Amino acid sequence: MSDAAALPAKGLPWPLMLFAGFLAAAGLPLYVHLPDFAAGLGISLTSIGLLLIGLRVLDLVQDPILGLLVDRFRDHRAGIAALAVLGMSAGFAALFILQPGLGGMIAALVLLFVSYSLASILFYAQGVANAQTGVSTDHYRLAGYRETGGLAGILIASAAPSLLIGVFDERLGYAVFGATLALAGLVVWWSSASLWTASWTAPVRFSLRDFLAAGGGRLLVLGLVNSLPVAITSSLFLFFVEDRLQLGAWSGAFLVLFFLTAGISAPFWSGMVNTVGPVRVLVPAMVLSVLVFIGAAALPAGDPLAFAAISALSGLTLGADMVILPALFAITLARANLPAGAGFGLWGFTSKLALALAAAVVLPWLDGVGYVPGAANSADALCSLNVAYAIVPCALKLLAIVLVTTLPSPPEVP
């Protein structure tokens, strides 16, 4: 198949990567930079914690609803894209430029989280339509472009606040960061028009029976189980690096290395899955992930090179998950002729449920065994942290491998 046939919209990879990069750059401040930014405004840690819990609840329940709305108004998806992106721009301006108190921050963050989820669901759902003129391999090819664009966005958003704060002071640095994100949203809105041109052929009504019959339920369970290890390690990463490994000064470099290898590996995994199929790629990648978790558990404290290797290999294996699993889900929706908005609303729900479960189960357990972040912890407390960060995700990844081996080979999408 020619490239033109494989990619139905002329020049599609560039706006696709640009939109993916903006989503990645916009998502990172909501999950990484927000606590530090809010604390710098004088908001108490208790208020920040309650705010984050409330946003998690909102984030968890809104995705299925937004997915249904995307399907219902799919003939206006260019307008929905504008609404979502401009909502994000306005939210970032209100949050980082105006730097309001707690009430204003809540309003800005609600706007941001709703707009971000709406843009993400629309983007993934439109990917089904953009690949419908080709075969199943087109979904993996588009996923490779998407994750490559996301890499650039993550790297920029990871480094920009620190660089800007170094040039200006903290408040002005965040203001410039917010203005940059707001302007980037306008550029993305103007340049992504070609993303929304492919027509959606699936019905508006979502059939649970057809979804389950096509294997969608099995993929949702796999997505949830497979997201749990990443959710746990993400929640505990800074604790593990600072208290277990005594390498807090290296945490930023480890994160950049992790995201860098994840993004760089995306085209590799995309090409591999087109050659040998998703199951034959996922299983070895997941086995490597298990070995990486075991290696992390056995690391001595104070060895940055060893954990740099762990970070790089972790990113490499995550790249396979990011490319293959959403593409498999998109293929399932297309094969069953199901509305993609509702489908990816459920997919987003499972991913965020994994984050909520990780925070609700692992953190209280560590608190119960006496682990205190940043304190002089006992050997037993650090051992518990080690188990939570590396051994529990290892067991969950083994379960995910079992689920992957039961997946049928997806047929071509007509």
pTM for the model stands at 0.72
- What are the two backbone dihedrals, phi and then psi, of residue 79, each rounded to the nearest 5 degrees? -70, -35
> Nearest to residue 250, comparing CAs of 316, 170, 314, 307?
307
CATH topology of domain 205-407: Growth Hormone; Chain: A; (1.20.1250)
pLDDT at 99 over 60: yes
pLDDT over 70 percentage in the chain: 87
Question: CA 348, CA 335: separation in Å to the nearest integer?
Answer: 20
Instruction: For residue 42, give both structure tokens.
Output: 């004088």
Output the pLDDT for position 309. Answer: 95
Average pLDDT, the chain: 81
> Nearest to residue 127, comparing CAs of 147, 146, 109, 112?
146
CATH 1.20.1250.20 residue window(s) in the chain: 10-201, 205-407
Instruction: For residue 181, give both structure tokens.
Output: 């994100």
Q: Are 116 and 61 in contact (CB under 8 A)?
A: no
Output the pLDDT for position 31. Answer: 66
The residue-averaged pLDDT of 63-92 equals 87
Output the pLDDT for position 263. Answer: 78
Architecture of domain 10-201: Up-down Bundle (1.20)
SS3 content of the chain, % helix, strand, coil (to 5): 85, 0, 15
pLDDT digits (tens, 9 = 90+) for 389-412: 999 999 999 999 999 988 765 544
The residue-averaged pLDDT of 348-369 equals 80
pLDDT at 129 over 70: no
Output the pLDDT for position 32. Answer: 66
Using pLDDT thresholds of 50, 70 and 90, give the confidence band for residue 386: very high
Higher-pLDDT residue of 324, 289: 289
The helix-helix angle for 170-191 and 77-92 (nearest 10°) equals 170
| Angle at the Cα of 141 from the Cα atoms of 137 and 146, rounded to 5 degrees | 140
pLDDT digits (tens, 9 = 90+) for 41-58: 887 756 776 777 777 778
| Angle at the Cα of 65 from the Cα atoms of 64 and 66, rounded to 5 degrees | 95
